[in-house]
A and B are shown apart, each in its own frame.
Chain A
């Protein structure tokens, strides 16, 4: 897929919760084709401590409104600076990057589960929405620390069934996603997951034990985003590969995770 470096215009910046903002971007030109699971490298201006671009997953692409949505957890100087963007500001983005999830016609009629944790739910919205559009019926299992950390639930519900866990029990079942009763009650054929590494490893373990195909989206620290600097490598059956170029989405069978 052709990659672009574009100055996208900020349409809105919505503070979803103390630690999360939803940035909607647009352009006078039609936005390039982007696949669920791919990401954007954004340049952070006005933050002296932020030298490198920040990789942000594609949360949603609204084709009708020509919008690209980025859901950002404000965890450091760079992302806090992004939260200060104002409508009308330009944000330099390199996109689309990485490979994306494998959601094909073969998934139609299959039982598909999308498991997200924390801000890792971000790419699952676009994935789930595209699936629903293409006749695949996704089920979502979304985990967070507290009720306030559950993001965009109402929009997820438009794409499929939604189940929730929180670590403090303030909403849904108490505990981690892998403890949710749904996993005991129903069988799934395919799992797609994104979230903290311990969560994804737990999900991968569950998938392996139950013979479910599973794709995970990794977020190793990266610099170039283009497969040039070789900083973001992950050990796989093919040796060290770049998460930015050969990922960020991997089938768990290709990773050397001890699960």
Chain B
């Protein structure tokens, strides 16, 4: 039993290491200082992914700004007040929403945001990513709040705290690191999304100036370069992939560091 599970663990970790080192090997050659800050240029002239890094950051920030508050509020509702039929229905819908393929989200946002506005925009891209963020954050928030011992709630109520103060002042802080981990999961998930951005943010060869125009992102850039017939762009796609992995990793580390449990 131990041997079998250990073997599987080695397999899982091994594959991860192989993927990471392969990306690092292929990506490192095209990775230069200017590559990180330049905008894309025609084949043979170099160029970089600076606009895509900034664009991805903007899209992620937008999806967090919309998705995390809505998700946390939904999670609080479900755990604190969600005993009835309505809450069960909401819970079921959220679970369904989590399982929706991201390309469907992209097509949906294309239909309800891009078409009425009649152009692609960073705004639409942010909404598409937020739609993926909300159910993940909502469900983890609910689960994390449920994990807070009931005795803490009673302890605060017994001191004369009204319900809302118990939730905000005692329950949420006690669940904070778990909720942050859930939000992180959501960020990590959407930062790798390409499909919902193809029809919404679309991509751009310039640095983003406002949210009302098409905006570049690392994933779409990688996609565009990877399907091109040029070796130089292939190399750049690998380098961009390496950058994307590094960024996701550093977001993870930073948030872990910020939300490490102060009192445990």
Mutual binders A and B: no
Using a CB–CB cutoff of 8 Å, the interface residues on chain B facing chain A are none
Using a CB–CB cutoff of 8 Å, the interface residues on chain A facing chain B are none
